[in-house]
Structure 1
Amino acid sequence: MTQPRNDRLEPMPGDWRRALAVVAHPDDLEYGCAAAIAGWTDGGRDVVYVLATRGEAGIDSLEPAVCGPLREREQRASAAVVGVSTVEFLDHRDGVVEYGVALRRDITAAIRRHRPELVLTLNHRDTWGGVAWNTPDHVAVGRATLDAVADAGNRWIFPELAAQGLQPWNGVRWAAVAGSSTPTHAVEAAPGMERAVRSLLEHRTYIRALTDDDPETYARTFLNAQAEATGEGFGGRPAVAFELFSR
């Protein structure tokens, strides 16, 4: 991820009780959001994870049939470290997630089911700050999540969901994008940083396939560097940045 560009980040709103985090793959949230989530759950807030895929195409040395269940187990363990007990998978195919009605419907259903006030997702733009190309899965899931926030409150979009007992939910007050190159808000990272490191470390299979570095050194170095860079725009306090959209 590129470092965010904003030297005046505002504190994230704190007057909410339920959040839903929707991303494409196992480990997406751990590469930057987990410190914020740990702090939120410590404060008594409820956070639910919804993943579009099981990350089955993410490790070249493992067949998808082996990789998917393994990464699911690692994701559930990772979520538990930061106080998240509910992790759902939508079972779209890793690597070929398509933006469209089917994805929007699945995320809309999750929003109606969990009724959050805050919805989180990952960078939905084509690049990471114009420096690195983003993946199609991140783009599709991020955009579909932002669209589903509105879909969830409209009874005439996906009326079949209401027939299944998922009534419209227009209670989302904010949508927040992590990994944005144009962040607006931030959450102090220090209270949750140690658990964020341990949360990322639960993805040991993926990390070992990614780097020859010691996993803990890799995780700690990456997350601390990111938080410290963000903190330059947050009064010098290490932080997790979000681009916040109010509704």
Structure 2
Amino acid sequence: MTEQLAPMPADWQRALAVVAHPDDLEYGAAAAVAAWTDGGREVAYVLATRGEAGIATMEPAQAAAVREREQRASAAVVGVSAVEFLDHRDGVIEYGPALRRDVAAAIRRHRPELVVTLNHHDTFGHTAWNTPDHRAVGRAVLDAAADAGNRWIFSELAEQGLAPWEGVRWVAVAGSPRPTHAVDAGPGMERAVESLLAHRAYIGALTETDPEDYVRGFLTSMTDSAAEHFGNRPAVAFELFPR
């Protein structure tokens, strides 16, 4: 990250965040979501899976129920009440027309100007290999932003009452190794910590570190790393794709 990050656009009212798993948004983007909802904007969440394969010590059916509850509680902390699940299989999400159709349908339902997703690139920070689910969903979101406005792609959606929506103006990718824009993380930071802490079952299986120390340390490190490129303010960085 060598360039200065521009402020994220502010002239919009509705956003839709589409990611693979419960917790994907909380590992970074939640501080931005809190700032947006504080400003009176509407944000909805769509999760491709229920994260059922994410806890090694818990059977998938049980994990799915736990992680759904945690995701809804987590979203509420940052002012998000609309949380939907597409029920693709955790760990083996397939990029292709079926996933693009589901995301395009969600975009048509919610009619956002801004769509948010998680890193679709091969790596995080150029060194840590990204997961297949993140890559598949991120790519599908970038493609579905166009699909949602094309009446001849997934035309069956219109027959289901979902008219084409050409109003997506940007797709913002959180966690990208190639960020271009940022949101000041300061106003939403404490709620971002609380939001990630809501995933207690997942975090408890992930680390033996005290949960609050783990969460605060991770989010502080992430937002501080963007600060030197954003006026020395802790920030949530995004790679922004205008449309």
Normalised TM-score (structure 2): 0.99
Shift of 1:237: 0.3
Deviations 1:157-196 (A, max 9, x none): 0000000000000000000000111100000000000000
* 1:1-247 correspondence runs (5 A): 5-247=1-243
Deviations 1:66-118 (A, max 9, x none): 00010000000000000000000000000000000000000000000000000
Deviations 1:43-83 (A, max 9, x none): 00000000000000000000001000100000000000000
SS in 1 for 2:182: strand
Alpha-carbon distance in structure 2 between the residues aligned to 1:9 and 1:93: 35
Deviations 1:177-224 (A, max 9, x none): 001111000000000000000000000001010111110111111101
User: Would the aligned equivalents of 2:16 and 2:107 in 1 still touch at CA under 8 Å?
Assistant: yes
Shift of 1:14: 0.2
The ranges of structure 1 where at least 4 consecutive aligned residues each deviate by more than 4 angstroms after the TM superposition are none
User: Would the aligned equivalents of 1:7 and 1:232 in 2 still touch at CA under 8 Å?
Assistant: no
User: Would the aligned equivalents of 1:30 and 1:196 in 2 still touch at CA under 8 Å?
Assistant: yes
- The one-letter code of the counterpart of 1:105 is R
Alpha-carbon distance in structure 2 between the residues aligned to 1:128 and 1:190: 23
Alpha-carbon distance in structure 2 between the residues aligned to 1:137 and 1:116: 23
Shift of 1:9: 0.2
Shift of 1:126: 1.2
Shift of 1:225: 1.1
Structure 1: 5+ residue runs without aligned partners? Answer: none
Alpha-carbon distance in structure 1 between the residues aligned to 2:125 and 2:194: 27
Structure 2: 5+ residue runs without aligned partners? Answer: none
Aligned length: 243
Alpha-carbon distance in structure 2 between the residues aligned to 1:64 and 1:49: 22
SS in 2 for 1:79: helix
| Percent of residue pairs bearing the same amino acid type | 74
SS in 1 for 2:15: strand
